[in-house]
């Protein structure tokens, strides 16, 4: 019972960190980006990747070692919807990540580099799409946890 509670806690903690970092990226991605913000965005994006992996790892641990067991989740259509949505969100995170890497490299060679506003808007759009899709993950989790659709 304690193991299940701790796994849930670590999973939720990783999710909250992911949301905070996604929010920080959205806040920083504004026209008129300061040159030092490029480095901070790249750092935040690394934390985003680490927290996404932590969400995935803790989720798999809950699947394998949690109180409900893998059979409960594997038979649940909301579990599959939740995993599919997580993959879609991960795919949406690729364009901003590539932009941040590109910007960081340019900032390293060009002091005072500021990305073009069109690139900033494009990266922000992807982060906002991720954020809006993320809203559905807790809904799917609640439906899954209650066995709805089984």
Asked if residues 56 and 66 have their Cβ atoms less than 8 Å apart, the reply is no
Q: Is 78 helix (H, G, I), strand (E, B) or coil?
A: helix
Crossing angle of helices 35-65 and 94-109, rounded to 10°: 140
Q: Where are the beta strands (DSSP E) in the chain?
A: none
Measured CA to CA, the distance from residue 57 to residue 137 in angstroms comes to 16
36 exposure class (CB count in 10 Å sphere: 0-12, 13-18, 19+): exposed
Output the pTM of the full model.
0.90
56's tokens: 């995935």
Compute the C-alpha angle 128/133/139, nearest 5°: 140
- Residue by residue, pLDDT tens for the chain (150 residues) are 899 999 999 999 999 999 999 999 999 999 888 888 999 999 999 999 999 999 999 999 999 999 888 999 999 999 999 999 999 999 999 999 999 999 999 999 998 899 999 999 999 999 999 999 999 999 999 999 998 887
Measured CA to CA, the distance from residue 122 to residue 75 in angstroms comes to 38
Rg (CA), the chain: 18
């Amino acid at each position: 019972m304690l193991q299940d509670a701790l796994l849930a806690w670590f999973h939720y903690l990783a999710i909250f960190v992911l949301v905070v970092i996604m929010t920080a990226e959205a806040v920083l991605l504004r026209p008129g980006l300061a040159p030092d913000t490029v480095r901070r965005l790249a750092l935040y994006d690394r934390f985003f990747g680490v927290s996404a992996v932590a969400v995935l790892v803790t989720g798999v641990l809950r699947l394998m070692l949690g109180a409900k067991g893998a059979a409960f989740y594997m038979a649940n259509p909301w579990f599959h919807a939740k995993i599919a949505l997580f993959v879609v969100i991960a795919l949406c995170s690729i364009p901003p990540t590539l932009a941040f890497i590109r910007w960081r490299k340019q900032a390293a060679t060009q002091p005072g580099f500021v990305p073009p506003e069109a690139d900033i808007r494009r990266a922000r759009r992807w982060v906002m799409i991720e954020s809006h899709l993320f809203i559905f993950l807790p809904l799917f989790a609640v439906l899954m946890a209650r066995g709805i659709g089984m």
